[in-house]
Amino acid sequence: MKNRFLDWLYKDQDLLSGITDVVEKPDISRSELKEIMRSAEEEYDNRPEVREAIGRDRDRFRSLYMIVALVSCIALTLVLLYTVGLTSNYGMENPRTLEVVRRYVEDGLQETGAVNIVSGMILDYRAFDTLGESHVLFTALICVMILLRIDSKNQRTEYEDYYKVQTDSYFDLSSDPILRLICAVIIPCILLYGIYILLNGQNSPGGGFSGGAVLGAGMILFSAAFGFDTVDRFFTLRVSNIITFVSLAFYSFAKGYVFFMGANGLDAHIPKGTPGAIFSGGLILPLDVAVGCVVGCTMFGFYSLFRRGNIGGRV
Amino acid sequence: MSVVWNFPLFTVVFSLFSGVLCMMLSPRAARNYTIAYESVLIVMVGCVLRCTYVTGEAFTYPMGEFPAPWGNEIRAGTLEALIAFLFLVIMLCSIIGGYHFLRQDIDESKQNLYFTLLNLMTAALMAITWTNDVFTGYVFLEILTLTSCGVLIVREIGRTTLAAVRYMILNLLGSGLFLLGLVLLYDISGHLLMVPMRESLAQLAEDPAAIPAISLSVGILTIGLGIKSGMFPFHFWMPDTYGWATPTSASVLSSLVSKAYVFLLFKIYIRAIGLEVLQKTPLLHLLMAVGILGMIIGSVSALRASTINQMVAFSSAAQVGYIYMGIGLGTAAGFAAAMFQILAHALTKSLLFLTTPYLAEVSGDSLKFSALQGSGHRDHLAGVYFTIGALSMIGIPIFAGFSAKLMFSQAAVLSSRPSRTTMVLLVMSALAVSSLLNGVYFVRTLIRIYSGQDEDSGKDAKGKGRSRYGYVGAGLVLIAGNIFLGLFSWMIADLIYQGLWMFT
């Protein structure tokens, strides 16, 4: 084990090269494929030098690893608990501690026009952090796309496709009349609820991140009940890209404009509206909608990429 | 001034937008767009650098209408502008210099996504450099973490996927610890903005009973960033991460990403915690100890490496050790040396990582030392570039590495702390041993790539008949920067000292 690990660490041969190549052969059954992969691993393990090393080191290395992991986890836990214990003595007696919080709570409504102070904080006071945060999500989507979207380098074999079609039709729920009926009733409600959360971010708990998550969940349920083909009719990779692009570009420009005007002492001419009304809180509503769109697309994108290696139809 | 004042904001927002835009473009358009806009950013940051140097004052820029402790704020001084300028130049050189391999390593349909990641990474690097608020630092650190994993996995071979998973696990552990440290510090001080946090902590630190809480919080934060930047006991992820990535990614990860973490740590130390408070804690001594250990052990590991990229990666671990040693000295001269080392190492390492694949290409695509025999004769240009990079790493005069080592020794001698003699002895001997080891493994490699001319012409057939202007140009820029840093180190040191003075 250890030697195999060291082998991987220091040699310039791809550890998986012998194993993953096998997958590219089409037209073999699942059990045969498993057999080939197993024998490739066995072949590696059976090399005399490897076998000797494994026999010698496996148990020792594993138990050592376990002990070290356990000890370091316990040590870290104790250190953290100890530190938290120490910090409880400070903070409250420091008059400057509450300086920041007080203004958020006391003047938040007046200054941002948002009844929901959290929305006012993340989208107005500390909007720069949230600008970064919404791009974190986008970055995650791009990483998953790179990892899972099917291309010439990580193609699924015909066999895998066949296997997938088989399992999909076995587990496919779209032919289930009960599910379809129930979903036809509740999916509009879920989507409506998501839109409600999205639009009321400035007035009640909610906002872009939570509303978008509900919308994304509704889409996932929709594709599970009615099949990907139905979703592909209106939600392709291109549509997803355009929605994400427009939302994030709007976000960057709107916030860039506000930062620029605010820093230069100019009036941004964004009305705050009447607190409590839908159109209040200045930019908070449009930004919430933008964030919600990105979150929804990302959620559904993750599901679709994990399930079939693409957003929208075949590449 | 009035226009330049806005440039730091533009660099961040513009990069974020460019990232999203590249997703919509074709691979070729995405590349051209990225090169064009990075050039614009370089000009912008150059203006900021010139402006802060001439006026001699740093400026803060409120993000929106709300003033700082309530809203966000960024800040630009000479040091920030210098570091940001270097980051952008190296990013541009890495993209241009590594484009040939980028096209080979990445599937056509995903090349634009790669540029998306690079642009988001630029945004994160800029924001981390400019930030004046520790939490903003954390948010963009997350983007940096995700993009750096993304640029690793994009090659889609087993090794990079495994390396990326390991890199991600360690990085997330680092982010988690950093966040915990941050939360604890916020809990104690009640501020996220750097200067009020420092004032609050200075007030608390007057009571000796508060020191353990502060040192543990800062310690957790330091370990978090240490894991991410490859501080000594946590440097073992480096060879795989740097050794298998596509050259652009390796160069960007080793020269920019790990340096950005170190710079953030340095900024938090000086601006958010304060030197007076730090000197009451044992952290600086610890940092110096791990720095010195990293210098030695990183070099020893590099000696044992079997491929050229592993060697260069382990030497990164040693070079990061230099930086931590400089910060651990706890004096202005030590900090200046550490900052200079960031610049020198970034310029040299990106050159080396862009060059090794060319040497491998004429050696049957193998990075093993045995295959590289005589590769300097098969690809003359790559041989020359590698030689220059290696000489700079060893610390031969006229190259940047020499000036960095000189500054470290000066910093140790000029130190006025109580245990001065021990410190001078320790730093000097560590520098000597580490330079010697550097010399051994780099000279060994140089001898190997220039000995035993191998007449097997079939090996270099693949590399013929394509233009290498991008690589030649990027290499020349990096070498020019390297020699400039080596010959005119006083000029750069002047900028760094001015920046450090603005910091406090």
Of A80, A111, A262, the CB nearest to B180: A80
Residue A277 included in any domain: yes
Asked if A243 is an interface residue toward chain B (Cβ–Cβ < 8 A), one would say no
**Residues A260, A121 share a domain:** yes
Nearest CA in chain A to B308: A12
**Residues A303, A158 share a domain:** yes
Please state, as a whole number, how many other Cβ atoms lie within 10 Å of the Cβ of residue A78: 10
Q: Which of A106-110, B112-116, B429-433 has the lowest mean pLDDT?
A: A106-110
Q: Are B49 and B82 in contact (CB under 8 A)?
A: yes
Distance from CA of A189 to the nearest CA of B (A): 32
Asked if A237 is an interface residue toward chain B (Cβ–Cβ < 8 A), one would say no
Give me the residue spans of the domains in chain B: 282-504
Distance from CA of A198 to the nearest CA of B (A): 23
For residue B237, pLDDT over 90 is answered with: no
Please compute the mean of the pLDDT values over residues B247-268 and round it to a whole number. Answer: 94
Give me the pLDDT at residue A53, please. 59
Largest CA distance in chain B: 73
Cα distances (Å, whole numbers) of residue A300 to A134, A213, A232, A311, A315: 16, 9, 12, 8, 17
**Residues A262, A118 share a domain:** yes
- Reading the block at residue B312, the tokens are 């260069």
**Residues A109, A39 share a domain:** no
Disruptive mutation site among B9, B13, B153, B177 for chain A (greatest number of A CBs within 10 Å):
B13
Cβ neighbours of B120 in A, within 8 Å: 135, 138-139, 142
Contacting residues for A272 by C-beta, under 8 A, at least 6 apart = A112, A113, A280, A281, A282
Residue A314 included in any domain: no
**Residues A120, A248 share a domain:** yes
B200/B193 Cα distance (integer angstroms) = 11
What backbone phi and psi angles, to 5 degrees, belong to A152? -65, -20
Give me the pLDDT at residue B12, please. 94
CB contact under 8 A, B159 and A15: yes
Distance from CA of A159 to the nearest CA of B (A): 21
CB contact under 8 A, A143 and B190: no
Q: Are B363 and B375 in contact (CB under 8 A)?
A: yes
Cβ neighbours of B213 in A, within 8 Å: 83, 86-87, 89-90
| Domain limit, last residue, from A24, A56, A87 | A87
Give me the pLDDT at residue A88, please. 72
Maximum average pLDDT range among A41-45, B167-171, B451-455: B167-171
CB contact under 8 A, B72 and A9: no
Largest CA distance in chain A: 79
Distance from CA of B447 to the nearest CA of A (A): 21
Please compute the mean of the pLDDT values over residues B12-25 and round it to a whole number. Answer: 94
Nearest CA in chain A to B153: A147
Q: Is A273 left (phi over 0), alpha (psi -120 to 50) or beta?
A: left
Residue A96 included in any domain: no
Distance from CA of B146 to the nearest CA of A (A): 7
Distance from CA of A6 to the nearest CA of B (A): 11
Give me the pLDDT at residue A251, please. 94
For residue B309, pLDDT over 80 is answered with: yes
CB contact under 8 A, B23 and A241: yes
Asked if A257 is an interface residue toward chain B (Cβ–Cβ < 8 A), one would say no
CB contact under 8 A, B139 and A82: no
Dihedral sign for Cα B28, A138, A155, B170, please: positive
Asked if A232 is an interface residue toward chain B (Cβ–Cβ < 8 A), one would say no
Which residues of chain A from 76 to 115 reach within 8 Å of chain B, CB to CB?
79-80, 82-84, 86-87, 89-91, 94, 96-100, 103-104, 111
pLDDT tens-place string over residues B35-91:
999 999 999 999 999 999 999 888 999 888 888 788 888 999 999 999 999 999 999
Give me the pLDDT at residue A166, please. 57
Residue A105 included in any domain: yes
Q: How many CB pairs lie under 8 A apart between chains A and B? A: 224
For residue B275, pLDDT over 60 is answered with: yes
Helix, strand or coil, per DSSP, at residue A174: coil
Cβ neighbours of A145 in B, within 8 Å: 110, 113
**Residues A118, A76 share a domain:** no
Dihedral sign for Cα B64, B69, B75, B80, please: negative
Please compute the mean of the pLDDT values over residues B393-401 and round it to a whole number. Answer: 91
Give me the pLDDT at residue A20, please. 44
Between A307 and B202, the higher pLDDT residue: B202
Q: Are B61 and B13 in contact (CB under 8 A)?
A: no
| Domain limit, last residue, from A57, A87, A117 | A87
**Residues A174, A46 share a domain:** no
CB contact under 8 A, A127 and B305: no
Tell me the whole-structure pTM to 2 decimals: 0.90
Please compute the mean of the pLDDT values over residues B249-259 and round it to a whole number. Answer: 94
Euclidean distance between the first and the last CA atom of chain B, given in angstroms as a whole number: 22
Residue A6 included in any domain: yes
SS (H, E, C) A232-262: HCCCCHHHHHHHHHHHHHHHHHHHHHHHHHH
Residue A92 included in any domain: no
Give me the pLDDT at residue A180, please. 85
pLDDT tens-place string over residues A71-108:
999 998 998 898 888 877 765 666 666 777 888 888 88
Please compute the mean of the pLDDT values over residues B230-256 and round it to a whole number. Answer: 89
The parent domain of residue A45 ranges over: 2-87
Give me the pLDDT at residue B378, please. 86
Give me the pLDDT at residue B462, please. 52
Cβ neighbours of A244 in B, within 8 Å: 20, 23
Of A79, A143, A249, the CB nearest to B150: A143
A154/A29 Cα distance (integer angstroms) = 20
Residue A315 included in any domain: no
Between B489 and A2, the higher pLDDT residue: B489
Euclidean distance between the first and the last CA atom of chain A, given in angstroms as a whole number: 40
**Residues A188, A234 share a domain:** yes
Dihedral sign for Cα A277, A279, A282, A287, please: positive
Low-confidence spans in chain A with pLDDT less than 50 = 17-25, 315
Q: Are B138 and B179 in contact (CB under 8 A)?
A: yes
